[in-house]
Amino acid sequence: MMMSQLLLGLVNGSFYAMLSLGLAVIFGLLNVINFSHGALYMMGAFLAWMGMAYLGLSYWVMLVLSPFIVGVLGVVIEKTMLRWLYKLDHLYGLLLTFGITLLIEGVFRSFYGVSGQPVDTPELLQGATDLGFMVMPNYRAWVVVASLLVCLVTWFVIEKTKLGAYLRAGTENPKLVEAFGINVPLMVTLTYGFGVALAAFAGVLAAPIIQVTPLMGSNLIIVVFAVVVIGGMGSIMGSILTGLGLGVIEGLTKVFYPEFSSTVVFLVMVIVLLLRPAGLFGKEK
Amino acid sequence: MNKKVGYAIALLLALAAPFVGYPVFLMKLLCFSLFACAFNLLIGYTGLLSFGHAAFFGAAGYFTGNAIKNWGLPFELALLAGVAAGAFIGLVMGALAIRRQGIYFSMITLALAQMVYFGGLRFGDFTGGEDGLQGVPRGKLLGVVDLSSDLTLYYVVLAIFVFGFALIMRTVHSPFGQVLKAIKENEPRAISLGYDVDRFKLMAFVLSAALTGLAGATKTMVLGFETLTDVHWSMSGLVILMTLVGGMGTMVGPIIGAVIIIALENKLGDFGTFMALQTGIEWFNTLGEAVSMVTGLIFVACVLLFRRGIVGEILAYFGRRKPA
């Protein structure tokens, strides 16, 4: 019981980690808090379901295709809309992406209502493995491993490679980086595309575990916002660790005090705000 | 002088309105207008974007509903209970949220409001859970005037609205309001001038929350029920949209925005049915349920094309024509 809830917490935690990581990367370069992250996560899951139900494509194809489509959509959003807001107050970015969220959710609701669509677990990952101290469903293990891998690769690329160095420099001083001959606007566009593709990837991973509904994203994004407030958006590793940690805390709460599990992340946020207002890994600008 | 004439005409129109329109709908418009005006006090005059105003609006509704239905309090005290609930939650939320700046502030208010929402789900005895709090009686004003007549209640609600609006106007034009504007324009400078910025922000937040509570309490009284819709984050989004459409930082903008958005919500279903009949496309029938699609579209259009809102654009147009 305890171990399985812990695993479940870890699964949720890896979703939090992937989403808050995407938010942090986008915020770093674009100065926009991407409210539509939740809606694009939902879209990733929905596209996976649609591809499998309508076109008969396999889970593995959709795991690549769905983030790609959402990433392209992200590029379009950035090119046509977000681009015009960079010089304005941050709040307009939040408002615009909030509007996009309502729009995307509304479109899916108008076609599919609010009922859930089931997505089958791929054959390869069905069943469970007996580890002796607990029985572990294979798919859940896969989710944790896959998302951790994606998070770590992202961290590596940003912190340890040349491309990442450009990105970090762009976060610090975009004008200077542009003067060195780097195409910053292109970098910004691709970053946004990558960030939302990450959200869609999380969505596809989540699809077989939870029912795919048009509303699955907005409930999650609010929790992820709390995670971001707790962790601060200054550090990539910080986002990953905070996400995982809060997932585990949530899982443990389900064991000891189930009624509390939906609010525990918010409570942690309150405590962090009281004790360390800048967030665990944050530095106040 | 011009403005005073304008307000007088508007008041006369409001007095005559229930003889033309449907009183309950008009009262709903007044409640949401007050809600949007209270919200505008923060975003338009203090520069704080709260994403949690649904918490005050809904919680006030629940407290007022319970006060009058289950605790047997008279009309006035029940309203006050709602206002107090809004103000108290505002005090707690504000005190936490102003510890962070800018975009974090918005995220914190959103997360805390979500806690209130979960609270509403959890304490079903108090809120009626998914069914909501039903059958809230209207009671009697000062123990004598029966409010079960829509027309009587309309004038009471109008008086409440005028009181709230006047209070906001007074606040904005007071020295206190000037400090708020200074904080909005340039916070470091306000600090360097010796103002305790956090205290001013908190006071503005609590005032806005209390007035939002008044709006929520009145709305429950008018409609006779209160549901989780009012505490949901989409309600916080809706009030932002009303203010944005009408014009942030303008006095009458939020009222116009509220009227447009509420009318749209009410009529969109009819419009969809009409379109489905005309074009034969079944999908239009779903328009009523998927209001969020249309509100989202308006959001995007507003942010990209006319950020100043309707009233703001009009003011800017006249401002250009005769430079002061």
Residue B118: pLDDT over 50: yes
User: What integer pLDDT is reported at residue B324 of this predicted model?
Assistant: 46
Task: Identify the band that residue A40 occupies on the pLDDT scale cut at 50, 70 and 90.
Answer: very high
Residue A285: pLDDT over 50: no
Residue A285 burial by Cβ neighbours in a 10 Å radius (0-12, 13-18, 19+): exposed
> Residue A220: which residues within 8 A CB-CB, separation 6 or more?
A15, A19, A38, A41
Residue A283: pLDDT over 80: no
- Mean pLDDT (chain B) is 85
Percentage above 90 pLDDT, chain A: 22
Distances (CA, A) of B146 to A119, B75, B153: 57, 10, 9
Residue B289: pLDDT over 70: no
CB contact under 8 A, B303 and A92: yes
Residue B167: pLDDT over 70: yes
Which residue of B118, B283, B297 is in closest CB contact with A263? B118
Tens-digit pLDDT profile for residues B36-79 = 999 999 988 888 889 889 999 999 999 998 888 888 788 888 88
Query: Once rounded to an integer, what is the mean pLDDT over residues A210-222?
Result: 87
Nearest CA in chain B to A214: B290
Query: Once rounded to an integer, what is the mean pLDDT over residues A193-200?
Result: 92
User: What integer pLDDT is reported at residue A73 of this predicted model?
Assistant: 93
Which residue of B106, B108, B115 is in closest CB contact with A273? B108
Decide which of B304 and A276 is more confident: B304
Task: Identify the band that residue B35 occupies on the pLDDT scale cut at 50, 70 and 90.
Answer: very high
Distances (CA, A) of A261 to A24, A137, A249, A251, B232: 25, 22, 9, 8, 19
Tens-digit pLDDT profile for residues A116-160 = 888 878 777 777 777 777 777 888 888 889 999 999 999 898 888
Q: Give the gap in angstroms from C-alpha A280 to the nearest C-alpha of chain B.
A: 13
Pairing of the two strands A128-130 and A135-137: antiparallel
pTM: 0.87
Residues in A touching B296 (Cβ below 8 Å) = 99-106
Q: What does the DSSP assignment read for A120-189? A: PPPGGG-SEEE-SS-EEEHHHHHHHHHHHHHHHHHHHHHHHSHHHHHHHHHHH-HHHHHHTT--HHHHHH
User: What integer pLDDT is reported at residue A41 of this predicted model?
Assistant: 94
Residue B146: pLDDT over 80: no
Q: Which helix (H) or strand (E) holds B323?
A: none
Distances (CA, A) of A184 to A85, A163, A167, A172: 16, 12, 9, 12
Tens-digit pLDDT profile for residues B237-247 = 889 989 988 88
ipTM (interface pTM): 0.85
Query: Once rounded to an integer, what is the mean pLDDT over residues B271-283?
Result: 74
Residues in A touching B53 (Cβ below 8 Å) = none
Distances (CA, A) of A219 to A111, A226, A236: 20, 12, 23
Best interface-test mutation with A: which of B89, B92, B299 has the largest number of A CBs within 10 A? Answer: B299
Best interface-test mutation with A: which of B103, B264, B265 has the largest number of A CBs within 10 A? Answer: B103
Best interface-test mutation with B: which of A225, A230, A250, A253 has the largest number of B CBs within 10 A? Answer: A225
A143 touches chain B (CB under 8 A): no
Residue B174: pLDDT over 70: yes
Q: Give the gap in angstroms from C-alpha A76 to the nearest C-alpha of chain B.
A: 14
